[in-house]
Structure 1
Amino acid sequence: MDWTVLFLIWFIYSLLGWIVETLYCSIRQGSFAERGFLSGPICPIYGVGAIYVIFLVDPYVKTLGGLFLLSMVTTSILEYVTSYIMEKLFAMRWWDYSEKKFNINGRVCLENSIYFGILSIILVNWIHPYISFSVHQISDTNKNYMSIFLFAIILLDIAYSSNAAIKLNSRFKQIYILKEEIRDAIGRDHLEEKLETFLAHGQRFIEEKHEDWMGFKASINTNINEFKDHVDVDLSTLPLYKKIKELQTRVKFSERRILRAFPKLKSTKYDDVLEELKRNIKKR
């Protein structure tokens, strides 16, 4: 098969996959849900899955049941492998189905696998014949121009989006390192001393069966506030703390887009930092 035909078919299904996933997630969310690793409106994994089903699965099965089962298994393998590779490349888990029943390491789940099987039947029997016919109607010259143009745009998008993911992970690391430096600058011993003083009040209350509960409660609240005030004052005077605030608030558009597109994104190394960053962005 002509590579331009194969590429255009891949692109069309990547686009259709993006549309289907965006609509599905938007309906469930009740508002527009931006989806996909790339900035453009395509999800390459859907294009790869469609190519696989059309050219490597469909020719070798004779029944709808066989097509459903084989497509369900093979597309799930593709999703699992993609999740694993992207996690290793960017040190982030991009989606997680751990809360769903019958999932495998949170990377794939039975519910989605069933959807993939149903979509594969629709694809092979109703959608692809029309798409294949339409692509073959395009002249060879136009197919070449379209393929070269789209290929160049997608390569740029891959580079742009990958760079955003790498910088986002670097942002997590910087915040984590700065927080460690702040803890050292404040002094762990002093913080532990404050905590011990606070806990001592509770211990005395238990031992003496303190009856003045309101007085004890006020005393505890005072100690808590003193503890917080001390920490806040120390932090606000540190350039390190200001740097953290900048890293948490001045997030580039490309990085925010990734966080919007993958609401369940997790960092394999700095997940606490990532969750705090999400909260800060949401507040803004």
Structure 2
Amino acid sequence: MNIFLTLTFLFAIGSMLGWGLEVLFRRCVTQKKCENPGILTGPCLPLYGFSLCILYLLTQLEHTLPVKTEWLEKLILFALMAIAITALEYLIGTLMLSVAHIRLWDYFDCKWNINGIICPQYTFYWMLLSAVYYFLIHPHTLNALDWLSHNLAFSFGIGFFYGIFVIDVAYSTHIMNYISRFADENQIVIHLESLRKYVQEGFKQRKPRFLLSLKPEKPLSEILEQYKNKLSFSKKNNSN
């Protein structure tokens, strides 16, 4: 099947499955509650979409590595996958931090982290997920791609996904640009997760939004100003 169609299919599947995995991870491990992760509104995390494409492409290296021992070959393959995804994670995190002044995630609590963007702990998690992909998901991925190659009418579904995806990206980019300008004007870094939490805490009349988690009841400018004041207050307390 055409490599472009293959990668677009994998990106769509990976983005949605990764979103579900992230929601589950936050619900069961980190935050003990359901929360919409990432900067998009819908059930989509592009980082996982790109990661699935990387895993699929790197799987093609199997049997080409200069290693004769099968288990060692797979271990090296999983390590390469983890390093590649970690590099992608670092690239995205660094770009958002340096260009938009927005920190998408924070690994400062993890040992040996680099700028709070990547750390060995999560690289190890990526390695485990790479193994899970190889043994449990990749065979089904190949079957799905084979089925798709014989049922190209289903590509309409992929097109539908990308239609919604483009709208979501446009909407979310508008919000991120607004937040970025505010951060630049005030010379601060916006921690996306803490801002999201602050927005959610501001709901008084009803339950916080799950999908539109960065859309407050009050104007966003007012929320950002309050968030900045909260940051300043926290810094003063920490310095004292």
Common fold: TM-score over 0.5? yes
2:12 is matched by which residue type in structure 1? Answer: F
1:4 is matched by which residue type in structure 2? Answer: L
Contact 2:41 2:211 in 1 (8 A): no
CA distance in 1, matches of 2:106, 2:58: 28
- Classify the secondary structure of the residue corresponding to 1:104: coil
Instruction: Name the structure 2 match of 1:167.
Output: 178
Post-superposition shift, 1:173?
A: 6.8
Instruction: Name the structure 2 match of 1:99.
Output: 109
- 1:6-85 equivalent positions in 2, closer than 5 A: 6-28=7-29, 29-56=31-58, 58-59=60-61, 60-61=64-65, 63-85=73-95
Instruction: Name the structure 2 match of 1:134.
Output: 144
1:31 is matched by which residue type in structure 2? Answer: K
2:213 is matched by which residue type in structure 1? Answer: R
CA distance in 2, matches of 1:133, 1:113: 28
Corresponding residue pairs, total: 195
Higher relative contact order (CA closer than 8 Å, sequence separation 6+)? 1
CA distance in 1, matches of 2:229, 2:91: 24
Superposed CA RMSD in Å reads: 3.3
Change (3 A) 1:13 1:254: closer
Instruction: Name the structure 2 match of 1:257.
Output: 213
CA distance in 2, matches of 1:108, 1:259: 28
2:146 is matched by which residue type in structure 1? Answer: H
Contact 1:58 1:124 in 2 (8 A): no
Post-superposition shift, 1:272?
A: 6.5
Instruction: Please state which structure has a larger fraction of its residues in helix.
Output: 1
CA distance in 1, matches of 2:49, 2:164: 16
Are 1:273 and 2:228 counterparts? yes
Q: TM-score, normalised by structure 1?
A: 0.60
Post-superposition shift, 1:140?
A: 4.1
Q: Which runs of 5+ in 1 are unaligned?
A: 178-248, 261-269, 280-284
Contact 2:39 2:172 in 1 (8 A): yes
Instruction: Name the structure 2 match of 1:148.
Output: 159
Post-superposition shift, 1:14?
A: 1.2
Instruction: Name the structure 1 match of 2:221.
Output: none
Same amino acid, percent of matched pairs: 24
Q: Which runs of 5+ in 2 are unaligned?
A: 188-201, 204-208, 217-224, 235-240
- CA shift digits 1:28-59 (9 cap, x unpaired): 22221221221111111111112112213552
- CA shift digits 1:215-251 (9 cap, x unpaired): xxxxxxxxxxxxxxxxxxxxxxxxxxxxxxxxxx79x
Post-superposition shift, 1:172?
A: 5.5
Change (3 A) 1:42 1:171: same
